Amino acid sequence: MNAIRTERPTWVEISLSALRSNFKKLRQRLDPAVSLMAVVKANAYGHGAVECSRALEAEGADWFGVALVEEGRVLREAGIKRPVFCLGGFSPGQARDVIEFNLTPAVFRWDLAEELNSAAEAAGRIADIHIKVDSGMGRLGVALTDMAEFASAIVKLRNLRVDGLLSHFSDADSTSEEPTNEQLARFEEARQALHSLGVDPKWVHVANSAAVHSYPRSWGTLARPGACIYGLERDVIAETAPRLGLKPVLSLHSRILYLKKVPSGTPLGYGRTFRTERESMVATIPIGYADGLRRAHSNRGSVIVRGTRAPIVGRVSMDLTLVDVTDVAGVSPGDEVVLIGASSGHEIRAEDLAEQADTISYEIVCGISGRVPRKFMSE
Ligand SMILES: *Cc1c(COP(=O)(O)O)cnc(C)c1O
């Protein structure tokens, strides 16, 4: 098949300078002794893991955090040299890949620890691992009550080295400090349990973005922010936490594909959920829920066209969305449409779309699908 000569006019722009600026602000927020793991799982929250990791590595990121072994492999194949941590550990059968791609996994399952130990032995290597303890999230991690037993078995595996201890907060963005304080106390107990076995790992980490903002005593030797690196802030950190003035890294754009004048009383889109109440100019935009603009934005969201806010009308469909551009002076086919981003004094943030769709900004940016090309801007 011949290459497509011109891409569809729906795209994401990633500002690498905003990314660098956010990274610097987080670095300045942290104590200089604390290392920083840039969490780049899920394709860097939809922002492009390889390009973002390269920029962050050049900026001095100490570690990269991914969810999956597959994601770690992508970074290694792109030439990322700094340590890559698998936050979710690895799945049965993947221990050889963990060794081959030099990834450092979270470990919390005995059978997987044995699998990794065997793979390391076969490769003639000592593999670094970080033990994950469940301090109150109830998700991955060894139960605190099993910690001493688990760790004393792990330290007997001769091809593994316990180089870290981690946990994860469930509520660091809450205005109530109680759950986080409780988790910190449990995390400290886990650290003590390791210490009694003579194990004092170099990397002690529990702080996500919200905790980088709000809980300096949780920073340990390594902080793991994700969302804040991408400039997501409003629904990421507690309302009362100090703002760092982060910049949104991602913007979402399209262009008017088709424009037509319709009479008052015209039904629009599937289910006819909108009917014009005046003679209207209706623009069709080539973006839909298969691109990550959610159906929840039907008759709810808005976009920016020629410096004017224009409402989404009717249902968002798979590939197409309608916008009422009656009030946009001089509107023409091909005009740029900003769905996330700033233009002529207006701004739409991922947090705004999240609020309208009753979700969080994380889900909005991760949900922008692979069929939307990413353009990396580095002014
Ligand atoms: C995703 C993730 C993070 C980063 O969380 P943010 O809220 O995006 O800062 C940190 N640690 C773990 C274990 C995670 O899964």
At 183-222, the pLDDT tens digits run 999 999 999 999 999 999 999 999 999 999 999 999 999 9
Residue nearest to atom 3 of ligand 1 (CA): 208
Residue nearest to atom 14 of ligand 1 (CA): 87
Question: Could you please report the per-residue DSSP string of 41-102?
Answer: HHHHHTT-HHHHHHHHHHHT--EEEESSHHHHHHHHHTT--S-EEETT---TT-HHHHHHTT
Place of tokens 């991914």: 66
**Ligand 1 atom having least distance to the Cα of 172:** 7
State residue 49's pLDDT score: 98
State residue 236's pLDDT score: 96
Interval between CA 147 and ligand 1 midpoint (Å): 22
Interval between CA 224 and ligand 1 midpoint (Å): 6
Calculate what percentage of the chain has a pLDDT beyond 90.
96
Band (379; pLDDT cuts 50, 70, 90): confident
CA 353/CA 340 separation, integer angstroms: 8
**Ligand 1 atom having least distance to the Cα of 106:** 13
Within 13 Å of residue 316, how many CA atoms lie on the same side as its CB? 21
Q: Which of 331, 318, 240, 322 is nearest to 282 (CA)?
A: 322
CA 43/CA 231 separation, integer angstroms: 16
Interval between CA 44 and ligand 1 midpoint (Å): 11
Contacts of 187 (CB under 8 A, 6+ apart): 133, 135, 165, 167, 206
State residue 293's pLDDT score: 98
Q: What is the pLDDT of residues 70-89, one digit of tens each?
A: 999 999 999 999 999 999 99
Which amino acids are annotated catalytic?
A: 41, 270
State residue 1's pLDDT score: 54
Calculate what percentage of the chain has a pLDDT beyond 70.
99
Greater confidence, 240 or 55? Answer: 55
State residue 43's pLDDT score: 98
State residue 16's pLDDT score: 98
Taking all residues of the chain, what is their mean pLDDT, rounded to a whole number? 97
State residue 200's pLDDT score: 97
Q: What is the CA radius of gyration of the chain?
A: 24
**What is the best residue among 108, 224, 351 to mutate for testing ligand 1's pocket, by most ligand atoms within 8 Å of CB?**
224
Interval between CA 80 and ligand 1 midpoint (Å): 20
Region class of 376: left (phi > 0), else alpha (psi between -120 and 50), else beta: beta
Neighbours of 74 (CB within 10 A): 18
Q: Which pTM value belongs to this model?
A: 0.97
CA 247/CA 35 separation, integer angstroms: 22
Q: What is the mean pLDDT of residues 51-65?
A: 98
pLDDT > 60? residue 46: yes
